[in-house]
Amino acid sequence: MPENSKSLSPSIKELLATPDREQKICLDAWVRTRRDSKNLIFLALSDGSCFNTIQAVINKELGSWNEETLAKVNTGAGVHITGTLVSSPGSGQAVEIQGEGISLYGDAPQESYPLQKKRHSFEFLREIAHLRPRTNTFGAVARVRNAMSFAIHRFFQERGFFYIHTPIITGVDAEGAGQMFRATTLPLENPPRKEGKTDFSRDFFGRPTYLAVTGQLEAEAYALSMGKVYTFGPTFRAENSNTTRHLAEFWMIEPEVAFCDINCNMDLAEEFLKFIISTVLKECSEDMAFFNQWVQKGIIDVLGDVVTKEFARVSYTDAMEELEKAQDSGSASFDFPVQWGSDLQSEHEKFLTETVYKGPVIVTDYPREIKAFYMKQNEDSKTVRAMDVLVPRLGEIIGGSEREADLVKLESRMDELGMHKEDYRWYLDLRKYGSVPHSGFGLGFERLIQYITGMQNIRDVIPFPRTVKSAEF
């Protein structure tokens, strides 16, 4: 094993970009592939810094090589190599390493190492999620995810937003769907009872608590004092949906803006999406070229179109009329019936974006009965100032609204839904003291990664997915 160096060796990304030739270098990396030809060994080396590998050529006739070490330098092995960076005579690569010395950090026995030089199914790779980032696909996903994370912070920070950390443990159901994971210290095999019910006064927090499904309500409190805030963190939903679109643990981006109505909210959502997409296309061009060729052909052109097009904006009522027209004329057939008052399904969203408007669409003014209690009610008493951003191929990618700023209307709506207002006393105080118009939206980070990379299953865009009946690793 090589001695520990006092400074990091250059990355492959740096070596591939340098114009200097005939320079002595050292590199720490993993062997992606090995090919032997007479006295030459060709190693494709990867360190995860970029999509491309760098080739190292070892001439066994030049210098003294440890044959036992060379025998273990195979796919998956971690190595330290020294040599000279030279122009490559081969096609497809500008430079290569002329190897002069190699030592082994750790080998990967070929009889048991599961990532050999062949294509592996995504289903198989989910079973070895701790190793799958070593593949082209999942290394590319990780780099895109990283670039998007940084771009999200840059977008909001450059526009004067404050980053707020909201609670992961909560005592309220902000979405009202009841699909929450309970957080408790009570013994599940024999919880304390009082008057025939579980005695939560003896729990750690002295009351029922859950893993948060959103940070929105707490973010509103800070928006109504600091103007513009955003959250970006993990959220949890115990939704029993074993599909390619659902996770039990995922990351959410949620901005909240004071003195902002529904139109301001739509402008922000459109600007945000375009910024993130254009950043990835610019900063992850190699990774995106891979997705374009092997995962979703044409994805780069599709995303480029989203960046340059103005998003269509239509009311829910107008959208339903378009769907009904298509259904009645026979030009479209839907599994879910189209009728005013029902929620838009994925098939409806895709038809609107891909057939009717041929691009992203923002749908507004949904029926109040299918939306959350905190959304601002319109004057017609039937709809609320909700907005969903729909994109081709995926459907809904952002959901948001102008929030109800009127205390009386908010309390009335909560009464209609049978909500326990005492649990939301602090939230109601925000409307009681200095209430102002404010809006915000939520975007599932993994859904956005799916959309940008073209990956079909949401389990493949998060490092270690948590889904129904699955909490491995």
Instruction: Report the pLDDT averaged over residues 306-319.
Output: 97
Tell me: pLDDT of 4 over 60: no
For residue 266, the model assigns a pLDDT of 98
* Sequence-separated (6 or more) residues with CB below 8 Å from residue 40: 57, 58, 59, 60
Q: What CATH fold (topology level) applies to the domain 132-177+213-460?
A: BirA Bifunctional Protein; domain 2 (3.30.930)
Q: Where does the pLDDT of residue 7 fall: very low under 50, low under 70, confident under 90, or very high at 90 and above?
A: low
Q: How far apart are CA 212 and CA 182, in angstroms?
A: 10
Token representation of residue 155: 């977008």
Would you say how long the chain is, in residues?
473
For residue 22, the model assigns a pLDDT of 86
CB atoms within 10 A of CB 409: 14
Q: How far apart are CA 231 and CA 308, in angstroms?
A: 27
* Sequence-separated (6 or more) residues with CB below 8 Å from residue 452: 144, 148, 276, 277, 280, 299, 303
* Residues 89-128 pLDDT 10s: 887 789 999 999 999 999 999 999 999 888 899 999 999 9
pTM of the model: 0.94
For residue 149, the model assigns a pLDDT of 98
Is residue 396 within 8 A of residue 316, CB to CB? The reply is no
Q: Where does the pLDDT of residue 2 fall: very low under 50, low under 70, confident under 90, or very high at 90 and above?
A: low
| Residues carrying CATH 2.40.50.140, the chain | 12-106
* Residues 163-207 pLDDT 10s: 999 999 999 877 766 689 999 999 999 999 999 999 999 999 999
Q: Which CATH number fits domain 12-106: 3.50.50.60, 2.40.50.840, 3.30.70.2340, 2.40.50.140?
A: 2.40.50.140
Instruction: Report the pLDDT averaged over residues 62-91.
Output: 92
- 91-96 contacts at long range (C-beta below 8 A, 24 or more positions apart): 93/52, 93/54, 93/55, 94/16, 95/15, 95/16, 95/18, 95/21, 95/54, 96/54, 96/55, 96/56, 96/57
Tell me: pLDDT of 27 over 80: yes
* Residues 350-401 pLDDT 10s: 999 999 999 999 999 999 999 999 999 999 999 999 999 999 988 999 999 9
* Residues 192-249 pLDDT 10s: 999 999 999 999 999 999 999 999 999 999 999 999 999 999 999 998 888 888 899 9
Tell me: pLDDT of 1 over 70: no
